[in-house]
Chains A and B, each alone.
Chain A
Amino acid sequence: MNALVNFTKIFKFHGGVHPPENKAQSTQHTIGQLPLPEKLVLPLRQHVGNIPKIKVNIGDKVLKGQLLAEAEGTVSAAIHAPTSGTVSAIEDTTIPHPSGLPDRCITITPDGKESWIDLKPQDWRKADRRALIASLRLSGIVGLGGATFPTHIKLRSDGKSGVHTLVINAAECEPYITCDDLLMRERSEQIVKGIEVAQYLLGAEKVFIGIEDNKPEAIAAMQAATANTSMQVVVVPTLYPSGDARRLVYLVLGQEIPYDKRSTEVGLQVFNVATVLALYRYFEFGEPSLNRVVSMTGNVNTPQNFEVLFGTPLMHLVNGAGGAKLGTTHYIMGGPMMGFDLPDENVPITKAANCIIAASPNLFAPLPPAMPCIRCARCADACPVNLQPQDLYWFAKSDNFEKARDYKLFDCIECGACSSGCPSNIPLVQYYRYAKSEIIAADRAKEAANIARERNDFRLARIEREKLERAAKHAERAQAAKSELAPASETPANATPEANNHADSGDAQKAAKQAAIAAAIERAKAAKAAAAVSGEVPKNVVETTPTVKAEIAEIEARRASVGLTEKPAADEDKQAKIAAAIARAKAAKAAAEAAKKQE
């Protein structure tokens, strides 16, 4: 242990707890490989951000590493086929999510051949940074520490990140989880190459690798691998949650990232060891993100770490670890502090799954009923973010969300240090999660309401505008008509010298109009009288010319010869047709109604 003497100063953060580590169980064996499962189920929702867009169809043959779904929008990650085979289904199935709700998944039935696509390694030392980062969008690599934030977003695409220090997160502070430990023990050379890639892409000058002091083998391996580099392995004391990015940065650099800023804004970036390893494999071999190391531990016969293809069914992994022991009640994804209970045993392993714990009442005794808060402030002593958990609890419990937000609820990292020390066994984090999701939902509703208000205002303004436009058009037309009429109506007005004022000219117009109407009525009457005199001649034929009359007679003769002149018969035919149409419509309506009732 003397070799691990730490020369760097460590800056201890506030609070933190030291739960039983339970890491020894799963570090007895090296990283194991699993046989190919019968099917691989790949949820589209495996990362933070937008759901990727499916690029395959059911029945398609896919090769190992082939793109199944491409990143959609800025924050999104691609998904690839973890092995060669056939796309056998694209459907909603249960995903590993605390909600236990189904979501869209692509199912692949492996053909067992493991035939790869054409891999295109890239010489990252010579290539343009921007092109490299752009190509990362196709890699499907996300933060493998558990946050699953798409990695290409963390490296700014303009190649100018402004990051001077890269911190590699290898603390792995949560109990039971050992996947990063084993990776460092066995693949430290590749990890260091991965760190070089990340360092180059970010343009970072300094690199620190933060490892908790409960992993001496990993520390030794990393120190040996970084011996000829400028990277520095920093051993941090074992204290949960030192693996939180902001806590680790403080431990290593003594620098606190302001609560309202991202780490990149102060020139820092944090990557998980497994993520940099994935970066290395992508650039060196062209392999997209297809698998990860998962700790399978807890109530299983042989707890061990496995390199697991994404989409592997949970039970396949459990069986790989010798099967679950008697008394296993459910499975936890993630650690015991921050993880969540998996909804059932059929869920697949995803990019976020760093650890699966088979839970039994012996390992995780059910929490005794919560007692009232006694305001002992033990939670405040344990909080690594310097919040006041007892106040937040109070506000969350009473639905006083605005107050909870004021007390920086959203800075809570949900580490569970507060609940683990609570003498009243209050599930504090559950209250914070409840309050957070209520606030997020309310904010979304507010945003939707604002958009609706804007759209409604716009619609009302548009209707008003159209009305005005119509009115203007009418006025214009009226004006035009008036100016056309003007000469006619002006003549009598001008003829009489005293008709210069408007009221008189109006009267004159009225009189002219009335006279015109009277004349029209006279004309109609005369026409009627003429019609009465001539007898059976139809009205519309009164003024027809002889040639037209001759034509009509000819047509009538032709119609008579074909037998079309029997008007009553034709009318009857028409009536019958109408009746039939009505009957048809009624029948159709009745049928539609009957169908509706059956539904």
Chain B
Amino acid sequence: MLTALYIMLGLALALGIALGYAALKFKVEGDPLIARIDAILPQTQCGQCGYPGCKPYATAIANGEADINQCPPGGDAGVRALADLMGMEYKPLNAENGVEKPKAVAFIDEDVCIGCTLCIQACPVDAILGAAKHMHTIIASECTGCELCVAPCPVDCITMEPIAETPDNWKWRYPTIPIKPVMTS
């Protein structure tokens, strides 16, 4: 009877020490769940989800504060991936946060730009080049299409241009059988 008690106590002690050591030794810096959610999010940094960027939204999802259907740039596929990761039911995008749009980049009409730097301050990824009272321009390859620069512009010289299909980014289509009208005489 007593031996059994000692064995159990000894085991509890030994395992406790082992677990305590492991908790210190293999401590994970940061929340891996946040990083995994952040990896799914499109990094547009547009704030349409109601949070100031993709990371804060990822944090909110991880803490159960935000729903998974608040990211329009991530689209339907993004919601599905998040539902998969979080083990939640898929739900369609929340219309309050906006709708999924084809990817676009900002374009500055350089003749109209007055060089006020307001858009530069708004850009979350530093994709606008320019200085005070000098023309600004978008670094198209870095632009995430978040549209945050459009509103602050006092002269409305920024427009969103959808990314055109070129032989470079063209994709093979899903094989379909074309439907042809049959003439019946």
Contact = CB atoms under 8 A, between A and B. Distances in A.
A431 B166 CA distance: 21
B138 interface: no
Contacts of B53: 456, 460
Given A453-B38, A455-B125, A97 B172 contact: no
A512 B165 CA distance: 74
A370 B173 contact: no
Given A427-B175, A452-B144, A455-B127, 6 more contacts: A99-B170, A438-B171, A444-B169, A452-B44, A452-B125, A456-B55
A311 to B, nearest CB: 17
A232 B174 CA distance: 45
A130 interface: no
Contacts of B161: none
A455 B166 contact: no
A459 B38 contact: no
A444 B163 CA distance: 14
A455 B43 CA distance: 10
Interface of A: 45, 95, 97-99, 101, 103, 369-370, 427, 430-431, 433-434, 436-438, 441, 444-445, 448-453, 455-456, 458-460
B172 A101 contact: no
Given A427-B175, A430-B172, A434-B172, A450 B167 contact: no
Nearest to B144: A452
Interface residues of B, number: 26
Interface in B144-185: 144, 165-167, 169-175, 177
B137 interface: no
Contact of B142 (A103, A434, A445, A451): A451
Interface string B36-54: 0010011111000000011
A430 B171 contact: no
Nearest to A431: B175
Contacts of B55: 453, 456
Contacts of B45: 452, 456
Interface of B: 38, 41-45, 53-55, 124-127, 142, 144, 165-167, 169-175, 177
8 contacts: A97-B170, A427-B175, A431-B175, A434-B173, A434-B175, A441-B171, A452-B43, A456-B124
Q: B38, B42, B45, B167 — which one has the most chain A CB atoms within 10 A of its CB?
A: B167
Contacts of B43: 448-450, 452-453, 456
B178 to A, nearest CB: 10
B177 A455 contact: no
B175 A99 contact: no
A441 B169 contact: yes
Nearest to B166: A101
